[in-house]
Chains A and B, each alone.
Chain A
């Protein structure tokens, strides 16, 4: 399994293409890799497929600024050349941000990436002080009962949110930065958390701004 060169690509899912599903985004990237002429490895067997693996799924409608995929190459291609090839082979809304090689023995992105940073933009008119108060009040309750697609779930906020949410008070904008811990049992959706905190005032846009690997030294970027 540990053969070849594992290329890690950090890319965006932005603009109108935040409405793509995880599957659609994945397919788009596989085709971009083919168009770029990358020497990708294929799986053995009845239906040979490109050896490619993606980070945690991003929901339809949520944008991502630093999403990740790993693709196995059969020969080494200089990073600058890969980047140039990919940039010319995919639309701007899915553009690669950076690329690099990682060890072929590195565990999968899906298992390594456990922290997600989101920016939730809210409808205008929510004063920052009020926002702070609502968030504090919710955090003090310690837990959150949610329902998604008919399934009840309970989140211990101290575990689900590895860091206190931050209100961003840029000029004229109401936004909150939320850090969420992802695990095998799912993660708290930032929109769900925000509506629990501030009521039905719908988030305007949700963007996943970063994904981190959590280790002894803290949170590190996968590239």
Chain B
């Protein structure tokens, strides 16, 4: 292993925030003499990537293997990458400052479509050929995973293998398989082929796209790759000694995952579909890991994370116990992704006891009809009650998330957002003592709907960008001005997301062309250029606007049909049909099975720690 620090250091004097590149944080595990070296990469800056909990979980799992070193890699900011290229410094890992190309495996999580060009940027900086078929015997295996693995095709050409689903056990099996292949002296091709024998692992080179658009295995690889699911989250402790960054990272706090999966069934939400079933961790484990994590890291804030933390059947007990243990330490407890209908008075009080972190609700749609159509299962009364309780308990700011362009949306639905916000503001104001009303803020964020694979809306097209912009103007004009801060996600980025979220293998050429034309950090508005992307996609034969807007045949082939998320397509189709009738579907953790297919298909079950959930 070559330590390149001597060549990195002179560059640090000319770049922003050098703390991103120096390592030496608290909690770093260093194993220079390990027999196998894995680099885990988050395809964005250090500040964004260090907040990723999945990488912390995987690093903790790998650290249980004595002879394996797990090192971190992030994307150098543009000033640093320019300096590295100018001085021929390759992409390096943080822990040992080793060139990434010298690792045995490079694991890359794919959190969203806007990070795709960053993956190519990293491979190029590392000196690893972009396409899997161009790599030689000495290059590391490049293995993907994360949310975007559910439609892997646009990135398939750049990966040797892609894991679909939970990585706690699968990653260790992948490492074991590769080590066994190395020990047996197998070639790269044979090693990669062996990975296809692991449940949940997709090896793109073993599949071809037919003229009918169906992805089929070329020989004995499985016809469909079935998502890996960890049946019981409590099998492993939550990582309690993660690396504690110096730099001001996005979510700079201790985190404990309290549950995985969400079966509320919002029809636009990919996470709510592909991470089923709901698996809660018991209160005892959560409290134990939370205290251990705060002690080990020294963090001043603890976040209880999941897709919908307030749904946890023992959340109040957990918060009460944590409040007792943390009294007088100035430790704040935050609960992201609160569902409006599970925000109760006791919960408001319990959360209000420590420092009050921000409060965020996601009504998603303004009218009851549209909320029913997307199966949000929330009434306006519930929204206003939650706001009233929060502001009575002392909160002064609330952030509301909405979406524009959801299937079946009309102008009335858009203006209904403004009307709802107005009532939220009035409710918040009434619950706030007159002397404190000056600090009262309602932030409204409106994003553009992006159709995602494995959701009931996977066949839908995205609203054309001109129409999105018209509806944004409509919303801005209708929105009350006083005390309300309205912001929009860039519609251009959402258009690109839609193309890549819906895209097949042919999109890879577009991604590569965009990167070659300079696209990188597409999630950062100052670096994103829609025009550059449209041109790059066109060079790959894709008309971006038409591709994003195209609605697909609900019985035809989809580019992700070979990825089995466990959801039955009959269920997804039925859910899509209910949308048109604005009919809702209940959450199976509160009532009966809705027949999504996941539990019987994947041989798992819902785990509710407290026995039952109160609806």
Contacts and interface: CB of A to CB of B under 8 A. Distances in A.
Interface of A: 15-17, 19-21, 23-25, 27-28, 30-35, 37, 42-43, 46-50, 60-61, 89-91, 93
Given A17-B22, A30-B300, A61 B12 contact: yes
A35 B22 contact: no
B349 interface: no
Interface in B307-336: 328-330, 332
Interface residues of B, number: 30
A195 to B, nearest CB: 14
A24 B330 contact: no
Contacts of A17: 22, 24, 246
A33 B19 contact: no
Interface string B170-181: 000000000000
B247 interface: yes
A1 B298 CA distance: 25
A2 to B, nearest CB: 20
Contact of B330 (A21, A42, A93): A42
A31 B18 CA distance: 20
A16 B23 contact: yes
Contact of A30 (B9, B298, B328): B298
B253 to A, nearest CB: 11
A16 to B, nearest CB: 4
Contacts of A28: 26, 246
16 contacts: A16-B9, A19-B22, A20-B22, A21-B19, A23-B248, A24-B246, A30-B300, A31-B298, A31-B299, A31-B300, A35-B26, A35-B295, A35-B297, A42-B329, A47-B355, A48-B355
B614 interface: no
A94 to B, nearest CB: 9
A47 B5 CA distance: 40
Top 6 A-B residue pairs of the complex, sorted by shortest distance between their CB atoms: A31-B298, A34-B298, A35-B298, A19-B18, A42-B330, A48-B330
Given A34-B329, A91-B26, 9 more contacts: A15-B24, A16-B9, A19-B12, A31-B26, A32-B26, A35-B295, A35-B298, A49-B300, A90-B26
B294 to A, nearest CB: 8
Contacts of B580: none
A20 B295 contact: no
A24 B19 contact: yes
A17 B18 CA distance: 9
A107 to B, nearest CB: 25
Contacts of B284: none
Interface string B150-190: 00000000000000000000000000000000000000000
Contacts of A48: 330, 355
Contacts of B247: 24
B330 A19 contact: no
A47 B244 CA distance: 22
Q: Would you call the interface of chain B mostly helix, strand, loop, or mixed?
A: loop
B26 A19 contact: no
Contacts of B246: 17, 20, 24-25, 27-28
A42 B328 contact: yes
Interface in B456-478: none
Contact of A46 (B12, B19, B22, B356): B356
Contacts of A43: 330
B251 to A, nearest CB: 14
Interface in B1-27: 5, 9, 12-13, 17-19, 21-26
Nearest to A42: B330
B231 interface: no
B83 interface: no
A29 B429 CA distance: 40
Nearest to A36: B298
B347 interface: no
Nearest to A39: B328
A19 B19 contact: yes
Contacts of A42: 328-330
B348 interface: no
B312 to A, nearest CB: 26
A61 B330 contact: no
B296 interface: yes
Contacts of B330: 42-43, 48-50
Nearest to B332: A47
Interface string B242-282: 00101110000000000000000000000000000000000
Contacts of B298: 30-35, 89
A60 B328 CA distance: 33
Contacts of A34: 294, 298-300, 329
A34 to B, nearest CB: 4
A16 B297 contact: no
Contacts of B356: 46-47
B297 A31 contact: yes
A61 B10 CA distance: 11
Nearest to A23: B248
A46 B244 CA distance: 25
A21 B245 CA distance: 13
A93 B26 CA distance: 11
A16 B332 CA distance: 31
A110 to B, nearest CB: 21
A91 B24 contact: yes
A31 B300 CA distance: 8
Interface in B21-36: 21-26
Nearest to B294: A34
Nearest to B356: A46
Nearest to A43: B330
A207 to B, nearest CB: 15
B11 to A, nearest CB: 11
Contacts of B5: 16
A167 to B, nearest CB: 24
Contacts of A23: 248
A213 B464 CA distance: 67
Max chain B Cβ within 10 angstroms of own Cβ: one of A21, A34, A37: A34
Nearest to B26: A91
A170 to B, nearest CB: 22
Contact of B244 (A19, A31, A60): A31
Contacts of A24: 19, 246-248
A141 B329 CA distance: 55
A30 B331 CA distance: 12
Contacts of B300: 30-31, 34, 49-50
A157 to B, nearest CB: 26
A27 to B, nearest CB: 7
A84 B84 CA distance: 40
A133 B246 CA distance: 42
Contacts of A15: 24
Max chain B Cβ within 10 angstroms of own Cβ: one of A19, A47, A60: A19
A115 B355 CA distance: 38
Nearest to B5: A16
